[in-house]
Structure 1
């Protein structure tokens, strides 16, 4: 995909640990970049992106990644790419808080987190409905 819509983007003031670093609106749709502070043992449910590739870079902690039938583990400096239409999940397998820098291309998916954070009751059903609007084939309801 050519980046004909991409724009030069610079955020001068660092944001606190965690949160969104750049949005699709800020980058002409090219990319969304966000950071997660992940508690020990926390994992995300299986899901598949239909609109974007999702990339992960471990800043702190140790993580296990599942992507299709592949499984990998890594600590700081590890980068994993989950292509669109590839079922995946991850888990912080360390005993301390972990940090992941994540990005999607094209951008847009990063707005999902603001919607989930705004929920007064973030139930699996409510999260499923938000994920579905963002083109995510979610398996969160399979966890009940």
Structure 2
């Protein structure tokens, strides 16, 4: 089931009561870490280390045809996306829909999800709790291509994929 956003009054009440868990983060272009696994550029705006484990925030720049595909599941992280540029096909459970700039999508841990770039594009991605952003750095450092070796790395981060038919 896809839910509508909270009312503004409810959202405001939630944000003003939150306690500070980490120091402010300012991520200016050119000052954050960028890693390049496969054909993508991943810009790490905030890491679990910076947010006391609460969040990981990245921007994914991908080419047409890129993306994790229709179904992966994170064991512990909720994941949220905001489309900055381009067009994507999102897969949430059994639903597939097209999303362009300004679209927001969010899933909880354990929910099957994925996306594919229909065009070159950019996504703002938030992981809660943080930590999964390190996956992209490990992927780039190890120079892995998509396939069994990347699947083994995904497994170390608690990501599973359904068996292929």
What TM-score comes out, normalization by structure 2 length? Answer: 0.75
Secondary structure in 1 matching 2:149:
helix
Structure 2: tracts of 5 or more residues without a match: 1-17, 35-40
> Which residue of the partner structure matches residue 7 of structure 1?
22
Match of 2:121 among 80, 86, 98: 98
Secondary structure in 2 matching 1:118:
helix
> Which residue of the partner structure matches residue 75 of structure 2?
50
Residues of 2 paired with 1:78 and 1:123: CA distance? 27
The answer to whether the Cα contact below 8 Å between 2:55 and 2:131 also exists between their aligned partners in 1 is: yes
For residues 12 and 65 of structure 1, do their structure 2 counterparts lie closer, same or farther at Cα, with a shift above 3 Å needed? closer
Greater RCO, CA 8 A, separation 6+: 1
Tell which structure's C-alpha radius of gyration is larger.
2
By how many angstroms is 1:6 displaced?
2.4
What TM-score comes out, normalization by structure 1 length? Answer: 0.85
The more displaced of 5-14 and 62-71 is: 5-14
Two-structure CA RMSD over aligned residues (Å): 2.2
By how many angstroms is 1:18 displaced?
4.1
Residues of 1 paired with 2:144 and 2:55: CA distance? 29
Residues of 2 paired with 1:26 and 1:32: CA distance? 9
> Which residue of the partner structure matches residue 147 of structure 2?
124
Structure 1: tracts of 5 or more residues without a match: none
